Structure 1
Amino acid sequence: MSEVSVSELVRRTRERDGRLPFEIGAFVALETTEALLGRPARVGADDVYIQPDGQLRISAGEGVPDEESARGVVAVLSRLLVAAGAGVPPVLLELVETGPHSGRWSLAELRTELEASLVPLNRGAARRVLARLLREGDKRPPRSVRPPQPTDDVDADLDALLEGRDPEPEYLPTAQFQPVDAHGNPVVPFDQVAKKPGQRAVLKKPRPPTAAEAPDTLNDAEKDEIDALLDPLDRATPMVGIEVPAEARRSFDEAMDDAFDATFEAEPTPLPAAPPPSQRPPAKPAPAKSAPAKPAPAASS
């Protein structure tokens, strides 16, 4: 395991969807500031190296004024805080955005504010954490974790961090999943439902099936049950307009023939005989009709 620059450490951490504690970022900036005190030089994220034991090595460039060197250290700090995500203390965010509170850009002022943000400071523990981060960074990330990172994402993440909001997602998922509610049912936006009448919550009352469509709504078991109920009726009383099998027609014809034969072959029922004349009651004589009365002659005067 070899030493790794700050920019490489940040890249590996983000590839693994990990986070660098903001305390580690402030500690690296403090160690860099102390290494440059007395001999300020231009420094960036590619010039600060972390060794396997957690120690720092500064590969500084040409000498520059104290203010420019302090600004370079703050740039290294901002790069580390981007990998820290949310939860960075406001004092560090203000330091990255506006510089030291005194308004003077110098390595001494920067060192004072970094030490104040790390109280209590445990350098041994910080170096052990750095060494562990290096060991984890050496592990290969799983394949196809995400597409290559655009170069301007670091600036966008830093702006989001300084504004107090979370950075944008670093990559898009390979599959978009439909949101679901607490019961696992899919949630459909109202505008999508309004465009599709078939998906409205209130549907029109379905049209009752016609006689031709009704059998299609029954399953096989229901059809068999109905056929079993109608079969005796079809054999006893064939209906007009319905094709009746030949066997059923013969059964019906035979039943009708048997009925007619039984009717004509039965013995006739004898009628009661008329009584003899002597036993007949005498006929009552018809009443005589009276002649109409003649009118009286009119008297002469």
Structure 2
Amino acid sequence: MSDAVAMDDLVEAMSHRGTPMTPESALFIVLQAVESMKDRRVVLDAGGIEVDEHGVVKINELCSPAVDDREAQEGVATLLETALVPAPATVLELTARLRSETVFTHSALAAELAAALVPLNRGAAQRMLGRLVREHHRPVRPEESDDEAADADEKLTRGLDEQGQRPAPSADATEPDATVRDDWDRPVKKKGPSTLQALVVLGMSTALLGAAAVFLWSRLRG
């Protein structure tokens, strides 16, 4: 299981990421570990339980052999309490039953764990565990240090203070702009002919009238 992750590493990594392992996930991991103890009783240890990218759980040599079923049962209760801190009420009730005078057989111990997961969809639960392991293998985005974050906050604050201290534009500087904006709303005035143009037209008209008068006078005399 080269891609496998120890349960304690997975629990710790998820806690650091801000998404602690749910009681259901922890219970399903322990259930699969207990089911693999059919042929040999061991004291389960979070470092000796491995989960791979397919959600398959196996136990390794870090889980020491148990003297009897009572010691194995006590190991399951201790694992549940240490893997989930603080342990929810349902888990505490389960561990209390495991620490009672009753010694469960292997099948009865597995049934107790499975009953705490009702309704249990094994296929969905295994896919969920596989996804947790794959996410565990993904590199975590580096976070800026506290000093870098404090320096960035200081620069941002200083920049905002400097922006707030800048003088506002004076009324004299903005008055021409306001005048132009007022002109936009006014109707466009039609410009009449200039004085020079009027004088030129008047002179040309006088000359034409004079020429016409001379022409008529000459015709009348002839």
Larger mean CA deviation between 10-19 and 105-114 belongs to: 105-114
Distance 1:28 1:40 in 2: 17
1:136 positional shift: 1.2
Query: What TM-score, normalized to structure 2?
Result: 0.56
1:38 positional shift: 4.1
Unaligned runs of 5+ in 2: 151-222
Structure with higher Rg: it is 1
What's the secondary structure of 1:61's corresponding residue? coil
Change (3 A) 1:140 1:8: same
Distance 2:74 2:99 in 1: 14
Residue in 2 that maps onto 1:73? 76
What's the secondary structure of 1:68's corresponding residue? helix
Contact 1:99 1:105 in 2 (8 A): no
- Point out which structure has higher relative CO (alpha carbons under 8 A, 6+ apart): 2
Change (3 A) 1:101 1:42: closer
Change (3 A) 1:11 1:102: closer
Q: One-letter code of the match for 2:59?
A: I
1:134 positional shift: 0.7
Contact 1:32 1:73 in 2 (8 A): no
Q: One-letter code of the match for 1:70?
A: Q
Distance 2:23 2:145 in 1: 24
Residue in 2 that maps onto 1:103? 101
Change (3 A) 1:23 1:117: same
Contact 1:9 1:134 in 2 (8 A): yes
Residue in 1 that maps onto 2:38? 37
Off by >4 Å, runs of 4+ in structure 1: 144-147
Residue in 1 that maps onto 2:129? 130
1:221-240 equivalences under 5 Å are none
State the Cα RMSD in Å.
2.8
Query: What TM-score, normalized to structure 1?
Result: 0.43
Count of paired positions? 144
Which structure dedicates a bigger proportion of its chain to helix?
2
What's the secondary structure of 1:46's corresponding residue? helix
